[in-house]
Amino acid sequence: MSSSIYTVIRPDGDSRFGLVQETSEGLQELGERSATTAAALAKETGSTLRIPEGEAELEGESDDGRMIINMGPQHPSTHGVLRIMLEIEGETVLRSKPVVGYLHTGMEKTAENLTYLQGTTNVTRMDYLSPLNNELVFCLAAESLLGIELPERATWIRMLMSELNRIASHVMWLATNGMDLGSTSMMIFGFRDREMVLSFFEKTSGLRMNNNYIRVGGVAADLPDGWEDDVTAIVDTIEARTKDYDELITGQPIFRERVVGVGLLSPQDAVALSASGPILRASGVPWDLRKEMPYLYYDQVNFDVIVGSVGDTYDRYAVRLFEIRESISIVRQIIDKMPKGPYRALDPKVTPPPRARIDESMEALIHHFKLFTEGIRIPPGESYVAIESPRGELGCYMVSDGSAKPFRMHIRGPSFVNLQSLPVMLHGGMLADAVAVISSVDPVMGEVDR
Amino acid sequence: MIERSEYLSTVQARHNDGFIYLADLTCVDYLNDQTRVVDEGVQAQRFELVVNLRSFAPPSILRIRVQVPEDDPAVPSLFSLYPGAEAMEREVFDLFGLRFEDHPDLTRILLPEDWEGHPLRKDYGVGRVPVQFKEVKRNR
């Protein structure tokens, strides 16, 4: 590293850390960001690196000490296969570029060849930490074109499952975030508590993940007997456990040192970069689709929108932790309000006949067979539906040409869009903080790459 | 639903009206779809760029559908108005082959850089892995 970059360091002789700053070998501490020379600054504009992916290796170390390194796609803190090209100067990150696509499997193309009944099995695999939200947005888009009325119970069941999924997803995030920052206990606790929710999903839908439970026209099955007790036990336990998390993480000095003031994102930047979900709210923008543009019956329950004030990694942690508590409160209200009635639309065009009828009625058998082989026909039209998934605005744009398969199905993945704000958060920070910042974005690569 | 020539001016006007959040940007390929209905005064083209804008106060959403012809698939980029359009426009470029003028980094995002073709176009076939069956000895 050429010494010309770090010519001026702390003229006032600030020795906060009691370290020897100058030895016979020269300066021992890294310079302030403002200490970089004009020549070095001229090379960077903005925070997003825009060089082709292949050129990172060729570039190597430049004559002024800048260097491009790759983090990932096999890095353990990148939540799968996220690769980040980082332009660093010493330990300071200048520009960066998230490189995605390692998990691309063409799910939007696949969706054009699947019927609406099969489509939910496809979308549920995108965001594998909140599969029910993916199914929900797909079904809401299809139903908005179909124009059918759902029974009340079906909608409340969807809300219950969606909120439980949000709890599971946020608890899972606390676990992986703890792991990234070296808190192995939090990892174990998080997985343990998420398992309770997944067990309930298994009891209800038969599967822990990728449930395929929410279908066009309602849900696949009614809630199991005694579900109120199960759900109450889950939320009571997790509510008590959030106090443990508080003790373990929130006030812990080591954790706070790693996250407070790290990875700042201003509200203006967050809106301009189309960030959504906890990232947008942590930056201080009170925007929650459940509150502002309610879908399902979110206008009939009381909950608060959690908003941060600084927009750092700590705020993004706090927003998610408090959203778990809000979701618990929503789940309790749903238990009280759950009506009796059918759990799927009683529309023979959409809903197969009950299993018992198939044994005794030839027509019911034919009806069942036709529905599952030919599928549901949806009138021509186009529709964009957005819901608030645990990661942000999850949208589905669906075009139908009147056949049994969508003409075009596009999912607006919140992780995909949120990754754009990563370079802004990383800019000017330390390389070691990158792990904390990436984790705070909570990208799920299955949804980013689709 | 608008023509391509009005695209940038319309979005600019809506941005000034308070639609400051770009929710989604995607594209649809209507290759041989004769049945679709377009607004009066708009010439239907093969590609349709779909832009969803949001305003926070009052909470509302607005959808703009832009017709893009097949022989010159290019539209102005929204990057200067909405920096968040960068990844979404790269995705549309990657999967549909629409060029965005004045985009800072128009490269493939999901597919490898040496990929040929644009898979979400309707004339791009669904790939298949050829399956080799063993010859079964027939007794008859």
Give the rounded distance of the alpha carbon of A319 from its chain centre: 13
Lowest mean per-residue pLDDT among A76-85, A375-384, B5-14, B89-98: A76-85
- Most confident by average pLDDT, A70-79, A409-418, B76-85: A409-418
Output the pLDDT for position A410.
Answer: 92
User: Has residue B87 got a pLDDT over 80?
Assistant: yes
How close is the nearest chain B Cα to the Cα of A267, in Å? 12
Output the pLDDT for position A327.
Answer: 93
Output the pLDDT for position A18.
Answer: 42
Confidence band (pLDDT; 50, 70, 90) for A229? Answer: very high
Geometric angle at alpha carbon A211, from A205 and A216, rounded to 5°: 90
Largest CA distance in chain B: 78
B130 preceded by cis ω (within 30°)?
A: no
Question: Pairing state of beta strands B47-55 and B21-29?
Answer: antiparallel
Q: What is the mean pLDDT of chain A?
A: 83
Output the pLDDT for position A235.
Answer: 92
How close is the nearest chain B Cα to the Cα of A290, in Å? 12
- Chain B residues near residue A108 by CB distance under 8 angstroms: 95, 120
Q: Out of B33, B105, B109, name the one closest to residue A101 (CB).
A: B109
Confidence band (pLDDT; 50, 70, 90) for B131? Answer: low
- Chain A residues near residue B36 by CB distance under 8 angstroms: 380, 401
Confidence band (pLDDT; 50, 70, 90) for A333? Answer: very high
A260-299 confidence digits (pLDDT tens)? 888 888 888 888 888 999 999 999 888 888 888 888 889 8
Burial bucket for residue A212 (CB in 10 Å: 0-12, 13-18, 19+): buried
Nearest residue in chain B measured CA to CA from A287: B56
- The pTM assigned to this predicted structure is 0.84
SS3 sequence of chain A:
CCHHHCCCCCCCCCCCCCCCCEECCEECCCCCHHHCCHHHHHCCCCCECCCCCCHHHHHCECCCCEEEEEECCCCHHHCCCCEEEEEEECCEEEEEEEECCCCCCCHHHHHCCCCHHHHHHHHCCCCCCCHHHHHHHHHHHHHHHHCCCCCHHHHHHHHHHHHHHHHHHHHHHHHHHHHHCCCHHHHHHHHHHHHHHHHHHHHHHCCCCCCCCEECCEECCCCCCCHHHHHHHHHHHHHHHHHHHHHHHHCCHHHHHHHCCCCCCCHHHHHHCCCCCHHHHHCCCCCCHHHHCCCCCHHHCCCCCCCCCCCCHHHHHHHHHHHHHHHHHHHHHHHHHCCCCCCECCCCCCCCCCHHHHHHCHHHHHHHHHHHHHCCCCCCEEEEEEEEECCEEEEEEEEECCCCCCCEEEEECHHHHHHHHHHHHHCCCECCHHHHHHHHHCCCHHHHHC
Confidence band (pLDDT; 50, 70, 90) for B10? Answer: confident
How close is the nearest chain A Cα to the Cα of B2, in Å? 16
Burial bucket for residue A149 (CB in 10 Å: 0-12, 13-18, 19+): exposed
Which tokens in the block code for residue A439? 């984790």
For the sheet with B60-68, list strands across it.
B21-29, B47-55, B60-68
- Chain A residues near residue B88 by CB distance under 8 angstroms: 274, 417
Backbone torsions φ then ψ of A411, nearest 5 degrees: -110, 125
E strand or H helix at B9, and its extent?
helix B7-16
Q: Which 112-151 residues of chain A touch chain B by CB within 8 A?
A: 113
Question: Pairing state of beta strands A408-412 and B21-29?
Answer: unpaired
User: Has residue B133 got a pLDDT over 70?
Assistant: no
CB contact under 8 A, A109 and B120: yes
- Chain B residues near residue A402 by CB distance under 8 angstroms: 35
What percent of chain A clears pLDDT 90, i.e. is strictly above it? Answer: 27
How close is the nearest chain B Cα to the Cα of A201, in Å? 31
A-to-B residue pairs, Cβ atoms closer than 8 angstroms: 98
Lowest mean per-residue pLDDT among A182-186, A327-331, A387-391: A182-186
Backbone torsions φ then ψ of B5, nearest 5 degrees: -65, -25
B19-63 confidence digits (pLDDT tens)? 889 999 999 988 876 667 777 777 778 888 999 999 888 888 989
Handedness of CA B4, B6, B12, B14 (dihedral sign): negative
Q: Comparing C-alpha atoms, which of A94, A123, A150 is closest to residue A351?
A: A150
CB contact under 8 A, A53 and B28: no
How close is the nearest chain B Cα to the Cα of A397, in Å? 8
Output the pLDDT for position A42.
Answer: 40
- Chain B residues near residue A101 by CB distance under 8 angstroms: 108-112
Q: Which 68-127 residues of chain B touch chain A by CB within 8 A?
A: 82-88, 91, 95, 104-105, 107-113, 119-120, 126
- Chain A residues near residue B108 by CB distance under 8 angstroms: 101
Q: What does R_g of chain B's alpha carbons equal in angstroms?
A: 20
Q: Cα–Cα distances in Å, from A225 out to A157, A204, A207, A229, A342?
A: 14, 10, 17, 9, 15
Confidence band (pLDDT; 50, 70, 90) for A256? Answer: confident
Q: Reduced to 3 states, what is the DSSP secondary structure of residue B60? A: strand
CB proximity B58 to A under 8 Å? no
**C-alpha neighbours within 13 Å on the C-beta side of residue B36:** 23
A184-194 confidence digits (pLDDT tens)? 888 899 999 99
B49: β partners: B27, B66
CB contact under 8 A, A50 and B105: yes
CB proximity B36 to A under 8 Å? yes
Output the pLDDT for position A9.
Answer: 41
How close is the nearest chain B Cα to the Cα of A348, in Å? 27
Residues 6+ apart with CB under 8 A from A62: none
Between A69 and B130, name the one with better pLDDT.
Answer: A69
Could you report the predicted ipTM of this complex, rounded to two decimals? 0.85
Lowest mean per-residue pLDDT among A61-65, A198-202, A444-448: A61-65
Question: Pairing state of beta strands B74-76 and B99-101?
Answer: parallel
Output the pLDDT for position A1.
Answer: 36
User: Has residue A232 got a pLDDT over 90?
Assistant: yes
CB contact under 8 A, A106 and B119: yes
Mean pLDDT for A342-368 is: 85
Q: Out of A52, A104, A395, name the one closest to residue B111 (CB).
A: A104
